[in-house]
Structure 1
Amino acid sequence: MGYAVVLGEALVDLLDGELDGERVYRQAIGGGPLNVAVGVARLGGAAQFVGSLGDDALGGRIRAFLTAADVGVAGAITAPAPTTLAVVTYTGPEPDFRFYGEPPSYGLLGPDDLDLALLEGADVLYCGSIVLLQPDTLAAARRAWSLAAGLRVFDPNVRARLLNGPAALEGLREVVAEFAASANLVKLSAADAVLLYPGEPVEGVAAYLRELGAGTVVVTIGAAGAVLAAAEADPVRVPAPKVNAIDATGAGDSVMAALIADLLLDGEPEGPSGWADRVAFALRVAGLVCESPGGATAMPTRAAVQNRFNT
């Protein structure tokens, strides 16, 4: 089994909460791609995180956290900036993220910072998330994408707060189309789909991304599971298990992590039914994540998933 390179952001989440009747912010190491890298490692895959980290104590904590999670950091650079903070509040079905720190510590990886041997040797390359809004890191992602000899997976992981008007949204839509066109797998959430393609049903979004060139598309739809568009088959719905959800942070990232871990273990599955089995497992992983607080810290092992769902 080879390894996956996960190119994206790592930052610190400040999660809005309450303690002894007072409003407090709980610190958690986060970033969608970081969650994915940790999830892959927890599920038995080898993962390398590639990105830029701040040069402060928080950046050091992120590096130590990844190392403790058995995620490689040889491709992670330290940039001269304080670590970006994402303040997370919960007022609707999706958490609201506000980002603090300029320049963003996660957006300072440039094309010349890439470890080319690390990229060229990867069996799976993940790109996506909010680093695609930063010109230098978008250029780095494009270079990594062009060098990848293995499978390419993509997740737009849109954050509406970072999009400054219709032009920014249209620019991101073009970037999504660019990466999706040559991706073996695209994973996005229903919230991503609504922002990128308003008024389009999720099945239509999945079919459209496949028409652009994506090999397989998975759209997560919360407690209802996911929509899967694989091979030439029509999109189908894969149900999620019933769970006692307390915190959905990182659930979508855990779906991506599970799909990558299985690609490392067994390669691409045979046909739509094989993909449906993979997605069903990934939804069990996400279900277990929802039963625990936190994002990266909630990523489970395969044994934990098997024990929870008796599989």
Structure 2
Amino acid sequence: MGYAVVLGEALVDLLETEHDGAPVYRQAIGGGPLNVAVGVARLGGESQFVGSLGDDVLAARIRDFLGAAGVGLDGAVTVPAATALAVVSFAGAEPDFRFYGEPPSYGLLSADDLDADLVAGADVLYCGSVVLLRPVVLAAARRAWALAGGLRVFDPNVRPRLLDGPTALAELREVVAEFAAGAHVVKLSEADAALLYPGEPAEGVAAYLRELGAATVVVTLGADGALLAAADADPVRVPAPRVNPVDTTGAGDSVMAALIADLLVAGEPGEPAGWVERVTFALRVAGLVCESPGGATAMPTRAEVLARFAG
């Protein structure tokens, strides 16, 4: 089994909670791509995190956390910046993220920083999330996409608070189309789809991304499971398992992690039915993540998933 390269951001989440009746914020290591890298490792795959990390105590904690989780740091670079913070509030179905730190520590990975051999040798390359809004990292992601010798997976992971200016959404939509066109798998949330393509049902979004060139598209639908569009089969809705959710942070990232881990083990399924099995398992991983607080810290092992959903 080979390895996955996960290119994107690592930061520190400050999660809103309550203590003695007063609002407080709990520190947690996060970032969608970091969650993916940790999830892949926990599920038995080998992953390498590629991104820029700050030069402070928080960045040291991120490095220690990733190392303890079994995630490689051969492609991570240290930059002279304080670690970016994401303050996360919970007022609806989707967490509200507000980002602090300029320049953001995660937004300083350049194309010249890439370890070309590491990227080219990966069996799976993941790109996506908020780093795509930073021109320097976008250039690095484009170079990585071109270097990739294995399967390419993409997740836009849109954060509306970071869309600055009247043209930002249209520009992001163009970037999404660019990466989707060369992707073996695109995973996006229902909220991502609604923001990128207002008024378009999940089936229409999946069909559009497949027309662009994406081989397989998975649109996560929260408690309603996911929509899967694979090969030439009609899109199907895969139900989510019944769980007792306490925190949805990282659930979508865990779906991507599970898909990548299975791609490392067995490559792309030959039939649409194989994709249904993959997405079913990924939704079980997400269900278990929702039953624990935190994002990266909630990523389960394969044995834990099988035990939770035995039978």
With the shorter chain as reference, the TM-score category is: over 0.9
Q: Deviations over 1:178-230 (max 9, x none)?
A: 00001000000000000000000011001110000000000000000000000
Q: 2:177 matched to which residue of 1?
A: 177
Q: 1:123-202 alignment to 2 at 5 Å?
A: 123-202=123-202
- Quote the residue 1:215 is aligned against: 215
SS in 2 for 1:310: coil
Distance in 1 (alpha carbons) for counterparts of 2:63 and 2:52: 10
| Counterpart amino acid of residue 283 in structure 2 | L
Q: How does 1:30-49 map to 2 (within 5 A)?
A: 30-49=30-49
- Any idea what the Cα deviations from partners look like across 1:274-308, whole Å, max 9, x if unmatched? 10100000000000000000000000001000100
The Cα shift of 1:68 comes to 0.5
Report the equivalent of 1:115. 115
1:268 partner SS = coil
Residues of 1 paired with 2:248 and 2:165: CA distance? 28
Cα distance in 1 between the residues matched to 2:91 and 2:120: 43
Relative to the length of structure 2, the TM-score reads 0.99
Q: How many angstroms apart in 2 are the aligned matches of 1:234 and 1:303?
A: 32
Query: Deviation of residue 126 (structure 1)?
Result: 0.1
After TM superposition, list the pairs within 5 Å mapping 1:208-287 onto structure 2: 208-287=208-287
- Match of 2:207, as an amino acid? A
Which residue identity is paired with 2:180? A
State the secondary structure of the residue aligned to 2:167: helix
Corresponding residue pairs, total: 311
Spell out, residue by residue over 1:112-164, the C-alpha distance to the aligned partner (whole angstroms, 9 max, x if none): 00011100110000000000000000000000000000000000000000002
* Match of residue 12 from structure 2: 12
TM superposition shift of 1:10: 0.2
Tell me how far apart the structure 2 counterparts of residues 29 and 236 of structure 1 sit (CA, whole Å). Answer: 34
Q: Where does residue 76 of structure 2 map in the other structure? A: 76
Taking the TM superposition and a 5 Å limit, the aligned residue runs for 1:41-120 are 41-120=41-120
Which residue identity lines up with residue 193 of structure 2 in the other structure? A
In 2: Cα distance, 1:110 partner to 1:19 partner = 41
> Shift of the alpha carbon at 1:165?
3.5
**Deviation (angstroms), 1:20:** 1.4
Percentage of identical aligned residues: 78
Shift of 1:61: 0.5
Q: Aligned partners of 2:165 and 2:225: how far apart in 1? A: 31
Q: Distance in 2 between matches of 1:147 and 1:166?
A: 33
1:22 Cα shift? Answer: 1.9
When normalised by structure 1's length, the TM-score is 0.99
Q: 1:166 Cα shift?
A: 3.4
Shift of 1:36: 0.1
Give the unaligned 5+ runs of structure 1.
none
Partner of 2:308: 308
Task: Judge which range, 268-277 or 183-192, deviates more.
Answer: 268-277
Cα distance in 2 for partners of 1:166, 1:257 equals 33
CA distance in 2, matches of 1:221, 1:166: 28
Q: Structure 2: any 5+ residue segments left out of the alignment?
A: none
Cα offset, 1:23, TM superposition: 1.3
Output the aligned Cα RMSD: 0.6
CA distance in 2, matches of 1:203, 1:245: 26
Alpha-carbon separation, structure 1, partners of 2:190 and 2:46: 28
* Secondary structure at 1:102 match in 2: coil
Deviations 1:72-110 (A, max 9, x none): 001000010000000000111111000000001000000
1:27: how far off? 0.1
Cα distance per residue 1:43-89 (max 9 Å; x no partner):
00000000000110001100110000000001000010000000000
C-alpha separation between the residues in 2 aligned to 1:21 and 1:200?
42
- Residue identity in the other structure for 1:222: G
Mapped to 2, the partners of 1:191 and 1:209 lie a distance apart of 16
